[in-house]
């Protein structure tokens, strides 16, 4: 990975970094960055790809509306910018978009962003020593979390071996899942955005919709009726229970404390005796009932997001996804493929080429010659008739 260093230019008597503010909140905005600009970005856990793009644009400084490194995962982006001679300042909140104006000139010194020598906003300047220390701390913390993940996953597999290997205690559903696509919705992370991105997929492929805990309410809010809701009874709303075709109550003890809630809505009591988060057990339920593919909306999109959960929950989710294997697909990946649009002009061009090829083929035959001669005579007659209209 090539990193081109360039020094911060300075004028006599002027300290800090001076440049033009350019907003680059989205990846598409990077094209507007120019040599020497001060880029304003929103990159939590600034990674190597994002850093390299800023280096390639030869910006002078970067103001990050998010934390460039939270310490949860080791990301080398801040260190790359520092080593390239690009000043990085963590503003750490979204007010930067209203405090600054795109295209204005500012000066940055000691984390202070100044317009006409008046401090507009302040942040934390991340020099090389600080980014190196943060990276080392994150690497150490990640190693500890991964050790914890391995230990908890091993313990979970040993305790739930019969369920994970043979499907013991996993209820068989009245709703047919075998050979069908399933969408599991969790109320977490980007749940609503994930579900919006699946709109076309749900319309075209008619998957079985499973609401995991409060994820059932996410489905209802989006206008969908869950075929199945699964979760601890305290996590299921009355509206979700009433709307669902089938309700599976997860319980560690095997008993349901308030069965009258289900009976009131005319629902059969189906229990799933196990420990774990609602979405993990929903994945196990779909996999054991032989779903062809399991699309998870509201799943953690990154390792850092996954590791934010309690250690035992991280282990259970890891094992559930490991058991589902190649069946499990993130909603964002499905959205990427189903949202692609094919341009019309290549199809029209192909059709036109086909018409020309057929026309030429016909023209070189005796029948084609007679046909084109007849067509020419008719066009000549049509031209004479049109001229007569105006004479």
Report if residue 384 sits inside a domain: no
Torsion angle (degrees, nearest 10) of CA 10, 11, 17, 20 = -110
* Tally of CB atoms within 10 A around 205: 15
User: How many Å separate Cα 355 from the centre of its chain?
Assistant: 43
**CA–CA gap between residue 334 and residue 294 (Å, rounded):** 11
Number of domains in the chain: 2
Same domain as 178, residue 280: yes
Length of the chain: 391
Which residues on neighbouring strands pair with residue 106, listed in sequence order?
19
Looking at the fold, whether 204 and 327 belong to one and the same domain comes out as yes
Based on the fold, state whether residues 232 and 281 are members of the same structural domain. yes
Q: Are residues 326 and 190 in the same domain?
A: yes
For the beta carbon of residue 12, count every other beta carbon within 10 angstroms.
4
pLDDT in the model for residue 29: 86
Residue 378 maps to a domain: no
In degrees, to the nearest 5, what angle opens at C-alpha 360 toward C-alphas 358 and 362?
A: 70
Residuewise pLDDT in 10s, the chain (391 residues): 444 444 445 455 568 899 999 999 887 788 899 999 999 999 988 888 899 999 999 999 999 999 888 777 778 889 899 999 999 999 988 999 999 999 999 999 999 999 999 999 999 998 888 888 887 877 777 777 777 778 888 887 888 888 887 788 899 999 999 999 999 999 887 889 999 999 999 999 999 999 999 999 999 999 999 999 999 988 999 999 999 999 999 988 888 888 888 888 888 888 898 888 888 999 999 999 999 999 999 888 776 677 767 778 788 888 888 888 888 988 888 888 877 654 555 555 666 665 556 555 555 566 556 655 665 666 566 566 566 655 5
pLDDT at res. 268: 86
* N- to C-terminal Cα separation, the chain: 77
Phi, psi of 329 (to 5 degrees): -135, 135
The answer to whether position 385 is within a domain reads no
Residue 159 included in any domain: no
Identify the domain containing residue 119 by its residue range: 17-133
Same-domain pairing of 322 and 260: yes
Choose the final residue of a domain: 297, 315, 338. Answer: 338
Last residue of a domain, one of 114, 133, 152: 133
**Closest C-alpha among 294, 306, 284, 286 to residue 333:** 294
Q: Do 198 and 73 fall into the same domain?
A: no
Give SS3 for 293.
strand
Q: Give Cα 349 distance to the centre of its chain.
A: 35
φ, ψ at 297 (rounded to 5°): -100, 130
Q: Is residue 348 part of a domain?
A: no
Looking at residue 389, its pLDDT comes to 56
Q: CATH number of the domain that 75 lies in?
A: 3.20.19.10
Domain final residue pick, 92, 108, 133: 133
Beta strands across the sheet bearing 87-90: 118-122, 112-115, 105-109, 17-23, 38-41, 61-64, 87-90, 124-125
139 in a structural domain: no
Residue with tokens 């120019």: 34
Same domain, 221 and 118: no
Q: Is residue 95 part of a domain?
A: yes
Q: Do 51 and 182 reside in the same domain of the chain?
A: no
**DSSP one-letter string for 266-281:** T---EEEE--S-HHHH
Are 190 and 320 in a shared domain? yes
Q: Are residues 209 and 91 in the same domain?
A: no
Residues 72 and 125 occupy one common structural domain? yes
Residue 225 tokens read as: 């009726």
Examine residue 359 and state whether it is found in any structural domain, yes or no. no
Q: Given 3-state DSSP classes, what are the helix, strand and coil percentages for the chain, each rounded to the nearest 5?
A: 45, 15, 35
In degrees and rounded to multiples of 5, residue 180 shows phi and psi of -110, 160
110 DSSP 8-state letter: T
List the CATH number of the domain containing 173. 3.40.50
Identify any residues that bridge with 373 across adjacent strands, giving them in sequence order.
none
The structure's pTM equals 0.59
Alpha-carbon separation of residue 15 from 22, 57, 64, 178, 237 (angstroms): 21, 23, 21, 68, 60
Three-state DSSP class for residue 336: helix
Tell me the backbone φ, ψ of residue 106, rounded to 5 degrees: -135, 165
Q: Does residue 171 sit in the same domain as residue 215?
A: yes
- DSSP letter string, 352-387: HHHHHHHHHHHHTSHHHHHHHHHHHHHHHHHHHHHH
């Amino acid at each position: 990975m090539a990193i081109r260093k360039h020094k911060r230019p300075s004028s006599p008597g002027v300290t800090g970094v001076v440049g033009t503010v350019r907003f680059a909140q989205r990846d598409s905005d990077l094209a507007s960055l120019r040599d020497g600009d001060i880029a304003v970005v929103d990159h939590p856990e600034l990674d190597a790809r994002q850093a390299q793009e800023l280096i390639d644009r030869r910006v002078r400084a970067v103001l990050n509306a998010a934390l460039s490194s939270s310490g949860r995962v080791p990301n080398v982006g801040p260190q790359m910018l520092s080593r390239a001679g690009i000043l990085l300042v963590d503003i750490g909140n979204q007010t930067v978009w209203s405090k600054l104006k795109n295209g204005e000139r500012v000066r940055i010194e000691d984390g202070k962003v100044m317009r006409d020598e008046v401090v507009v906003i302040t942040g934390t300047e991340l020099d090389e020593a600080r980014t190196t220390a943060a990276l080392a701390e994150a690497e150490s913390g990640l190693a500890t979390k991964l050790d914890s993940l391995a230990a908890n996953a091993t313990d979970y597999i040993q305790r739930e071996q019969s369920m994970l290997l043979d499907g013991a205690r996993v209820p068989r559903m009245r709703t047919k899942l075998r050979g069908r696509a399933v969408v599991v919705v969790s109320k977490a992370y980007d749940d609503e955005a994930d579900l919006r991105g699946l709109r076309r997929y749900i319309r075209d492929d008619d998957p079985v919709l499973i609401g995991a805990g409060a994820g059932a309410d996410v489905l209802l809010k989006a206008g969908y009726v869950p075929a199945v809701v699964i979760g601890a009874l305290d996590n299921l709303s009355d509206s979700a229970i009433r709307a669902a075709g089938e309700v599976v109550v997860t319980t560690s003890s095997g008993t349901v404390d308030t069965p009258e809630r289900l009976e009131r809505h005319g629902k059969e009591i189906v229990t799933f005796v196990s420990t774990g988060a609602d979405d993990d057990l929903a994945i196990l339920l779909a996999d054991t009932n032989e779903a062809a593919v399991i699309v998870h909306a509201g799943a953690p999109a990154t390792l850092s997001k996954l590791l934010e959960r309690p250690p035992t929950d991280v282990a259970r989710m890891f094992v559930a996804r490991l058991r589902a294997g190649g069946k499990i697909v993130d909603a964002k990946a499905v959205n990427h493929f189903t949202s692609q649009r094919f341009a019309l002009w290549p199809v029209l061009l192909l059709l036109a080429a086909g018409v020309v090829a057929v026309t030429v083929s016909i023209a070189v035959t005796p029948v084609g010659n007679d046909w084109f001669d007849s067509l020419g005579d008719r066009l000549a007659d049509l031209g004479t008739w049109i001229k007569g209209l105006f004479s």
